[in-house]
Amino acid sequence: MLPIDLRGKRALVAGVADDGGFGFAIAKALAEAGATICLGTWPPALGIFQKLLERGKMDESMTLSDGRKMAFEKIYPLDAAFDSMADVPADTRDNKRYRDHGDFTIQGIAAGLQRDFGDRPIDIVVHSLANGPEVKNQLLDTSRAGYLSAIGVSAYSNVSFVRNFGPLMREGGSFLSLTYMAGERAVPGYGGGMSTAKAALEADTRTLAYEAGRRFGIRINTISAGPWASRAASAIGFIDMMIEYCAANSPLPRKMDPSDVGYTAAFLASPMAAAITGSVVYVDNGYHAMGMAVSPESLKTAEG
């Protein structure tokens, strides 16, 4: 037996506000492997998320395979659009959804981890963050502000994560982010600069793997996941069609499950993946390997 053992490790999973996305699935898989879990949650969603937890609305999804209930050591408010409070506009600071959360920036959560758990408090950081305010717009119709916002939150924030959390990591530490095939190939309708942001995230993964590997001795990888109807992904507007298309055209005609990504993340965070860094790891039923769409007629012919 070769188990994934993350006992004694602490993970920060950023971008979790419900139990329906890849971020939650990753947190659960890391917990199954024995890690303790901290979360970073967008301030406007934090109150609702905490109420769901307090009222037991997520008890079923929080139950681990051995019957234990997953627990979060700490849930930090996090808006990854901001590196420090000096970057936060006054109208955001004063907004009722933000003003009672203290320092909700990337530097703020780094300081919070040190305050709560010591100088080198973290082993695993998961960047499960993406936001494109104009994602329904074609790239040609995307404003400069929308384009830069998509890149800032969805890609640059990962650079900031590595810069701020890298020095806090213990030996063997690793970073993981989530990307999508639109960073490599055209996916019509996945607009607003989000395809550009995913391409930047993948390019940064390679560069950060070298720089952070030499500076901090840590690993940087990203998972390119197949489409899943999380709350965030549903904002695209045609996520069900994306899921059906990928299922019809993938080598493995099975439905994706968030646990597929969660288990891969647990492996990549473990010592078993000690030599894997700078990689885009595909968890998409093989869809990335296909060079031609499969029609029902040609599928019948191919299968004989």
What is the pLDDT tens value at each position of the chain, 304 positions in all? Answer: 788 999 999 999 999 999 989 999 999 999 999 999 999 999 999 999 999 999 999 999 999 999 999 999 999 999 999 999 999 999 999 999 999 999 999 999 999 999 999 999 999 999 999 999 999 999 999 999 999 999 999 999 999 999 999 999 999 999 999 999 999 999 888 899 999 999 999 999 999 999 999 999 999 999 999 887 666 656 666 677 888 888 888 999 888 899 999 999 999 999 999 999 999 999 999 999 888 888 655 445 444 4
Q: Is there a domain that residue 3 lies in? A: no
Are residues 283 and 264 in contact, defined by beta-carbon separation less than 8 angstroms? yes
Question: Domain for residue 199, yes or no?
Answer: yes
- pLDDT given at position 304: 46
Lateral strand order in the sheet of 280-283: 72-77, 36-41, 10-14, 122-127, 169-179, 219-225, 280-283
Domain with 60 in it: what CATH number? 3.40.50.720
Location of structure tokens 């030599």: 275
Q: The domain containing residue 290 runs over which residues? A: 10-302
CA-to-CA separations, 296 to 226, 249, 289, 301, in angstroms, rounded: 21, 10, 19, 9
Q: What is the pLDDT of residue 296?
A: 57
Helix, strand, coil share of the chain (percent; to 5): 45, 15, 40
Q: Catalytic pick from 98, 190, 263, 287?
A: 190
* For helices 194-216 and 157-165, angle between their N-to-C axes, nearest 10 degrees: 20
Task: Establish if 37 belongs to a structural domain.
Answer: yes
> Burial code of 181-192, b = ≥16 C-beta within 10 A, e = fewer?
bbbeeebeebbb
The CA-based angle 137-143-147, given to 5 degrees, is 80
The identity of residue 232, as a single letter, is: A
Tell me, yes or no, if 190 is annotated catalytic.
yes
User: Domain count of the chain?
Assistant: 1
- Is 53 inside any structural domain? yes
Q: What was the pLDDT predicted at 70? A: 95
The verdict on residue 39 lying in a domain is yes
Catalytic residue among 76, 147, 156, 180: 180
Helices and strands (H, E) in the chain, number of each type: 11, 7
In the chain, how long is the greatest CA-to-CA distance? 65
Active site (annotated) includes residue 76: no
Residue 4 belongs to some domain of the structure: no
